[in-house]
Amino acid sequence: MIRIHILQGQQEKNAGAKYGYGQTENPSKIRQLREVSAFTPTAPSCRCHHSVPMAFASPRSYMLLSVAAAVSTIVLKTAAWRLTGSVGLLSDAMESGVNLVAAFGAIWALTLAAKPADRSHNYGHFKAEYFSSGLESVLIVVAALAIIYAAVGRLLQPEPLAQLGIGLALSLVATALNGLVAWILLRASRRFHSITLRADAHHLLTDVWTSIGVVLGIGLVKVTGLTILDPLIAIAVALNIVVTGWKLLHETASGLLDRSLPEEEQATLEALLDSHKTEEIRFHALRTRVAGSRRFVTFHLLVPGAWTVQAGHDLCDQLEREIATALPRTHVLTHLEPIEDQKAWDDMGFRWEDG
């Protein structure tokens, strides 16, 4: 939803008409709350008091696909490990188990994030997605440590591998399945702007790279007869997984700390506002943040104090439509001020910054 608060100045005349933004007289000191649904790019300014139905599947349906993939790969990789005795395949199966736990956590987070705003959570539950991505990042690191632990044990006590052909075939089937699901989730994450789907996709991709490393290791063992290569490659893959988990954890922490919009989106927003600047129209105190799949934007709009409420209303209406089109899933809060009032220029920061 886009919420725009418009505060009328003390003097109102029909001066706004010459700027093309309306000319209706209204009483002073009026606060008007307008809600515009901008949950989808195709309907950025539908005036309603309920969510616009999605024209496509929900993120939770994609997580059910992830659950099915995790169960399938656990079965395949466990069978491959039992047949070969490879610590690499054991670590691979363990990571698929982590994928399953993470998928259930993601379903819970997406279910909570989809809940509408209520009295206790006026801005919605969108940040619930960060709990899931945080869990995924921690589980990725834990899985990597478990792989290293198992590999070190095999380094100390090497064992010959058996039935490598069948084991490799099962592992490759599981790898292809994970790769396909990861690709689907990445596409869905861009469509829904969901960090949860993106986190799960990256988690599956780490599983894919783990599997590729394990297969290469077992292949080298089969060719060279050096069983030590199996745990060494498992450790190398685990270290790479730790890096992926750390990056995801950093992104999660940034979201919980109200990170601003990405630079390219910030530039888009600033360019849009600059296109409306004139001698009598100015903007300042621009603030942005990201919460899950939603964006939040606030700024002050300065116009001639002689404008009517309708004039300011029409300008804000135009701005909200353009922002909703340029940045879908954005909540906008605008404060209207008279440009001649010096106090309007003294509040560019937060009220509490002066102590």
Task: Choose between 324 and 1: higher pLDDT.
Answer: 324
Query: What are the residues facing 284 on neighbouring strands?
Result: 300
Closest CA to 88 of 77, 98, 99: 77
Examine domains 2-53+260-354 and 59-256 and report if their fold is the same: no
What is the share, in percent, of the chain residues with pLDDT greater than 90? Answer: 10
The Cα–Cα gap between 239 and 142 comes to 11
pLDDT of residue 82: 85
Task: Choose between 293 and 137: higher pLDDT.
Answer: 137
- For strand 294-303 and strand 330-338, is the pairing parallel, antiparallel, or unpaired? parallel
- Structurally, at CATH architecture level, domain 59-256 sits in Up-down Bundle (1.20)
Query: What are the residues facing 335 on neighbouring strands?
Result: 300
Residue 8 predicted with pLDDT over 80: no
Closest CA to 110 of 37, 171, 38, 197: 197
What is the share, in percent, of the chain residues with pLDDT greater than 70? Answer: 81
Average pLDDT over every residue of 85-108: 80
The Cα–Cα gap between 69 and 64 comes to 9
The Cα–Cα gap between 90 and 93 comes to 5
2-53+260-354 CATH, one of 3.40.309.10, 3.40.50.970, 3.30.70.1350, 1.20.120.1200: 3.30.70.1350
pLDDT tens-digit readout, 22-40: 444 443 333 333 333 333 3
Closest CA to 11 of 224, 206, 303, 327: 303
- CB within 8 A of 226, min separation 6: which ones? 220
Q: Residue 183 — very low, low, confident or very high, per pLDDT cuts 50/70/90? A: very high
The CB-based long-range contact list for 284-288 (8 Å cut-off, 24+ gap) reads: 284/345, 284/348, 285/335, 285/347, 285/348, 285/349, 287/260, 288/260, 288/261
Enumerate the domain spans of the chain.
2-53+260-354, 59-256
Q: Residue 304 — very low, low, confident or very high, per pLDDT cuts 50/70/90? A: very high
**CA 26 from centre of chain:** 42
